[in-house]
Amino acid sequence: MNNKKRFFAVIISLLFLSLLVFSCKEKKNIEVLKREQRFILNYGNFEDEIDLFDLMQQGTNIETYLQMRNGFFYLTNGKSKKVMQFTSYGELLSILYNPETNPTPSFSISENIGDSKQGTQMATSYQFLSPSNLAVDNNKNLYVVDQLPQERQELDSERNIWLKNVVLRFSSNGEYLDYLGQQGLGGTPFPHIQNVFCTENNEPVVISITNDGYIVSWFNEDGFPLFTVPIETNLLPDPFEATDKDVYKSLDVIVPDYNTRTLYLKIDYYQSEIDANSGFKSAVSYGATYIYPLNVETGIFLEPVLVPSYEEQTKDSGEPDTKPYELLGITQSGYFFFITPLENGYDLQIIQNNGQKIIHKKLLVAQEDLVFSRMNLSKEGIISALLANNFEASVVWWRADEIIDSLIN
């Protein structure tokens, strides 16, 4: 019965997507970027499965993340406390797993030594507590954000925050190397880590959240701290400071440049509205979004890039309603990727880092595949996503890198 339900669901989804493609081309004249499905992940606890059984529970924080680098997919599954590496065809290459929450991988059991997969698949046990974000460098070394046991956590009384996170480092063959703290190898734990990156020079960059804003910790390839950059929300640049309007700043994403020691801060600006009758503030409305480059070595903000907002017609008044895009990342060639969710997927906006070239595409995703989603942008410009429905999860990609290549060439 479940197979029949899946079959009809797939047929309906295909018909739905076909209508959407036609509708988008006819009404909005925005080209749909072709989606390629790479492989399917079943729900379960085996080595090549993923635990997303909590999807239907309200308020559950799903700590599952995706990273694609050089054609290989890396996934952390927080619930099962493991990290998996797949080829682009869905073949499991390696797994780092907590043996308390995972069965021993079938290919590592001694009685299966004669299996031909023994020489190509690797399994390493590690006592993960709550693995989340991850990054991979050019040497295939793996950086995994994890949480320390309660007895090893520290209270930063000056900032009034708990220091809970570290970045674990594993070699390309799955060997545990060490961990990064605020002072480098074996250092004090970080505040809550929002994300971790690796530059083209294999320099890890850790983005942590504090009560006042963010702390960016930039290390060299050997784990030696190079720069610690505190970014306080109340000290962010304000392009509207010459006006008499009250402006509220929201910094939600920071990403590093691949080639230079530069950070990009995506800041949304909101303005207060004054009621014409009472003269009092009645609401806060979205104003604009800017990308501010920050030179890490000098601490100086560079010329910002204005990000066009997304406009849609409201049903009631017919007037356009604007909202900010989400920053997905930046490519090595210097193109920002922005997305915003729609009923039928995402609107994609690509902007050159000097603000000159702007491209729009449509990413189609059926509603049933958006029960949970996690997206990633590769340095080349390939958009990857883990799309989960009630039955299984799909790993897909959109080859936006071909767009970037055509612009460069």
pLDDT mean by block of 10 residues, the chain; 409 residues: 40 38 47 96 96 78 94 96 97 97 85 52 96 97 97 94 97 96 97 97 97 96 97 93 83 96 97 70 85 96 95 68 94 97 94 91 92 95 96 97 89
Q: Residue written as tokens 């890039």?
A: 305
Query: Under a CB-based contact definition with an 8 Å cutoff, are residues 165 and 146 in contact?
Result: yes
Q: Residue written as tokens 């050159």?
A: 352
- Joined together, the tokens standing for residue 364 give 């189609």
Domains of the chain: 62-235 (2.120.10.30), 237-320 (no CATH)
pLDDT at position 277 is 66
pLDDT at position 113 is 45
pLDDT at position 315 is 62
Query: Under a CB-based contact definition with an 8 Å cutoff, are residues 371 and 392 in contact?
Result: no
pLDDT at position 278 is 64
pLDDT at position 22 is 37
SS3 per-residue string spanning 208-265: EECCCEEEEEEECCCCCEEEEEEEEHHHCCCCCCCCCCCEEEEEEEEEECCCCCEEEE
Cite the beta strand spans of 257-297 per DSSP E: 262-274, 281-295
pLDDT at position 132 is 97
pLDDT at position 204 is 98
What would the DSSP string read from start to end of 58-81?
Answer: TT----EEEEEETTEEEEEETTTT
